[in-house]
Copies of this chain bind each other. A is one copy, B any other.
Amino acid sequence: MLIKNVSILQSGHLVLGQDIRIKEGKIEQIGPELQKERGDEEIKGKGKLAIPGLVNCHTHLAMSLLRGYADDMELMPWLEEKIWPLEARLTEEDVYWGVKLGCLELIRFGITCYNDMYYFPDVTAQATKEMGLRGFISGVVFDMKPELLSQVEPFIKRWKDDELIRPAVGPHAAYTCSEETLLRAGEIADRHQAMVHMHISETWKEVDGFLLSRGKSPVEYLDSLGLLNSRLTAIHCVWLSEEDCYLLEKRKANVVSCTASNLKLASGIAPLNTLMKAGVNVCLGTDSACSNNNLSLFEDMKVTAIVQKNAYHTPAAFTAEQIWQFATENAYRAFGLNNGMSVGANADLALIDLKKPWFYPQSNIVSHLVYSMAGGVDTTIVNGRVLMQNGIIPGEEEILEKAQQRFIRLTSED
């Protein structure tokens, strides 16, 4: 495949007139006027920017099916009266179409890889694979449903050799899993060198609970169990002490901030400046469509930037370049992905149509991607396969209809 005459970013500057050759899922060559080879599919890149795909580092994709079902409620009534009863009725088929609905969004937002935690991980993995996205998929584990833990290792074994799917372990949180469960989850992850996906210190109530009952923050407690390491994606991390930040750095854990979700649930604002000062690898996630309510990392980049500037009382905090790294390079590092706009990297790319008023004047493209982007992704490629071209995703309409049907079935007993 040959992408012709596209623009790319080099040290934040726009370089026009580049061709990108893709072969066997990798970027084989980048440069001006590459010769078309026999059988090369050609993609017109004129007027477009090619970016390496974004990574959404935290979501529960199947919950796209619950988008807009219940907003603007206090956390416990929301969970107890709305979300949990519906989740109890979720079937594999609901999850399948919910994940596909979520994948449509990811593809439309130029996201080529995501980190998921939910029930029915086999179904999530299967639907993701069919949609062609790269996914780190973990089955959620917590004590209320003890069978979940025993399902983790077989799931990992079924998927560990897949090209696109990386199976992972998803202990829900330190307050929903016993010490025994956490240790077992950690052992399984270690045995398979799998990623661990876990909510940590999302609310002050959670942190206060640990400080009172154990004399330790959740981060310190998890460290005492040996769970902090470079294969951990620590989600939320809103209520961290400075010591927590330095401990996370020492153990090389990755922190995933979900700013929009944290704000919508009124959970607070993560101390990203302190984390960065400590040297922690900070990434971004959208959380589910149930608490955000979309899966756009462009939106989360902007919200994160402006909310953090205000929280640290200066517009100079958090440059567009730093925020862009959160959604790209930092995420690649967290997941060990060989992504980027370079020869040999995974051909996980998005093309953005720059002929939109929010990209004009074409002064500082990284600023535009972070602060003014309001649409324009028209092509998404993962592992060298085109998932969307000129804004068209084959099969989209069927997925929208099926999702609607599944939602009606789910809520018909309300």
| Interface residues of A, Cβ cutoff 8 Å to B | 64-65, 67-69, 71-75, 78, 101-102, 104-105, 108-109, 260, 262-269, 289, 292-294, 296, 299, 302-303, 305-307, 309-310, 312-320, 355-358, 360-365, 367-368, 371-375, 396-397, 399-400, 403-404, 406-408, 411
Evaluate contact between A78 and B315: CB separation under 8 angstroms: yes
Given A264-B306, A357-B101, A361-B65, residue A316 in contact with residue B374 (CB < 8 A): no
A314 touches which of B266, B310, B313, B374 (Cβ 8 Å): B266
Given A364-B71, A374-B375, A407-B363, residue A266 in contact with residue B310 (CB < 8 A): yes
CB neighbours of A313 from chain B (8 A): 266
CB neighbours of A105 from chain B (8 A): 357-358, 374
- The answer for the CA separation of A74 and B309 in the assembled complex, in Å, is 11
CB neighbours of A104 from chain B (8 A): 357
Other A-B contacts than A74-B316, A102-B357, A355-B400, 13 sampled, CB-CB below 8 A, are: A65-B361, A68-B363, A71-B371, A72-B318, A72-B319, A263-B310, A265-B309, A266-B309, A266-B317, A357-B396, A361-B406, A361-B407, A361-B408
A316 touches which of B72, B101, B397 (Cβ 8 Å): B72
25 intermolecular pairs with C-beta atoms under 8 Å apart = A64-B360, A67-B363, A67-B368, A68-B361, A69-B361, A71-B320, A72-B319, A74-B315, A78-B315, A101-B361, A260-B302, A263-B310, A264-B310, A265-B315, A266-B313, A266-B317, A292-B372, A293-B371, A296-B374, A299-B299, A299-B374, A303-B303, A357-B400, A361-B406, A363-B407
CB neighbours of A305 from chain B (8 A): 264
